[in-house]
A and B are shown apart, each in its own frame.
Chain A
Amino acid sequence: MSNTDYQITTSQTIGPFSHEGWQWAVDFCAPARLETSAPTVVVHGVLYDGDGNPIDDAQIEAWLPEAAAVEASQEIPGFRRTPTGKAGEFSLRLSMPERPAGEPAAYVTVFARGLTKHQFTAVFLEDDATLAQSAILAQVPAERRDTLVARKDGDGRYRWDIWMQTDKETVFFDYR
């Protein structure tokens, strides 16, 4: 192909067979290998389809730009990747350094079989005192903001489910 007028390349699904090819990064950012000088929290949840069934062949990525400096010894500082498990479950251990008011705990990207384009979203923590100052949340209709907020369900643990459809559908972003 010679794309000399620079029209964008479109997206395609990861299909069901991404796991072996993507595993190297999952290994590099596994929680047991994480070296960070900041406190950490765990955000965990389930990825659901429109019938409320778990999606068990997805890949979830998280990016924590402010964490890169405190994870400098990591192969990919500030980055996480995990496949969803048999029950659609995922878990992300996130460094929580000081960061600008209202920034999310992580920018999250969802890939899956049957998802023709990856979906950008972000997760915030319910006890973040700066939520009201979030420039991102301010752009989300008030009635849908809850879909981006993880709820505390233990010491340093937060529950955040991702819904692809239904009235609980997670807000997904397209950046300007």
Chain B
Amino acid sequence: MKFDDVQPGVWPELIYPAYKSTVKRGPLQPALRIDARVPVSRNIDPAPRILLPHDTDLTRRGEKAPLGEKIVVTGRVVDEDGKPVRNSLIEVWQANSAGRYWHQRDNHDAPLDPNFFGFGKMMTDDDGRYRFVSIKPGPYPWKNHDKAWRPAHIHFSLFGNVYAQRLVTQMYFPSDPLFPYDPIFNSIPDEAARQRLIARFSLDHTVGDEMLGYEFDIVLRGRGATPFGL
């Protein structure tokens, strides 16, 4: 596999002063473009036993149904040539419907839901598709600046089929009024790249009276078909 240069503005700025924590944490030197055979040709190979019951249904981890708006999120993971990224691990984590994480450092004054923990994992199928059921997360304050509230989002961690495809990103929801005020979202200079992080409401994937559907396709880096249809 081969990794083309990323167009300017597509990656977020590593130093983006409006997002305060970047100032001392983002590297100052540009990443060194190198050739390395292994990172673009091999990857982790998790055993199927890592997947547990309810890993793809975040609403079934508690004794009762969690509070909030039940949703289903699905999409395809492909590479820059549109080839499916198959049998590849995805992790998701998120806040509950009140905008609070099941995390000891989250002291936001919003209720913890004893029936919602907010994390799951899955593998893509042969078509690169993933699907999980969850609760729409709420926005939450994060103290970065005055009236700093994050738009509702779900974190995604993707491993891809080769190490160099590794990606962590966030999926946002359509028409969120907080987009213009969020430095994390706006650390991405390219407007089109920002828009690609917004899921699409999907009536096709909506399940009857049970839950609304969202579709979020993910494109990982990497060009050039690997032999044997990986």
Contact = CB atoms under 8 A, between A and B. Distances in A.
A113 interface: yes
Interface string A1-36: 111001111111111111111101100100000000
Most chain B beta carbons < 10 A, residue from A7, A28, A139: A7
A75 B47 contact: yes
Interface stretch (B17-25, B62-70, B205-213): B17-25
Contacts of A76: 44-47, 50
A65 B121 contact: no
A53 B80 CA distance: 38
Interface in B1-46: 2-3, 6, 10-14, 16, 19-29, 31-40, 42-46
B105 A3 contact: no
| Interface residue SS majority, chain A | loop
Interface residues of B, number: 87
A21 B166 contact: no
B29 to A, nearest CB: 6
A36 to B, nearest CB: 15
A105 interface: no
Interface string A117-153: 1111000000000000001100110000000000000
B164 A17 contact: no
A68 B42 CA distance: 11
Most chain A beta carbons < 10 A, residue from B2, B6, B36, B121: B36
A138 to B, nearest CB: 9
Which 3 pairs between the two chains have the least Cβ-Cβ distance? A114-B21, A21-B93, A21-B119
Given A50-B24, A79-B46, 15 more contacts: A2-B200, A10-B10, A10-B193, A11-B12, A17-B95, A50-B28, A53-B24, A55-B25, A68-B45, A107-B38, A114-B20, A116-B187, A136-B36, A164-B24, A169-B28
Interface of A: 1-3, 6-22, 24-25, 28, 49-51, 53, 55, 57, 63, 65, 68, 74-79, 103, 107, 109, 111-120, 135-136, 139-140, 164-165, 169-176
Interface of B: 2-3, 6, 10-14, 16, 19-29, 31-40, 42-47, 49-50, 75, 78-82, 91-93, 95, 101-103, 105-106, 117-119, 121, 155, 157, 163-164, 166-170, 184-185, 187-188, 190, 192-200, 215-221
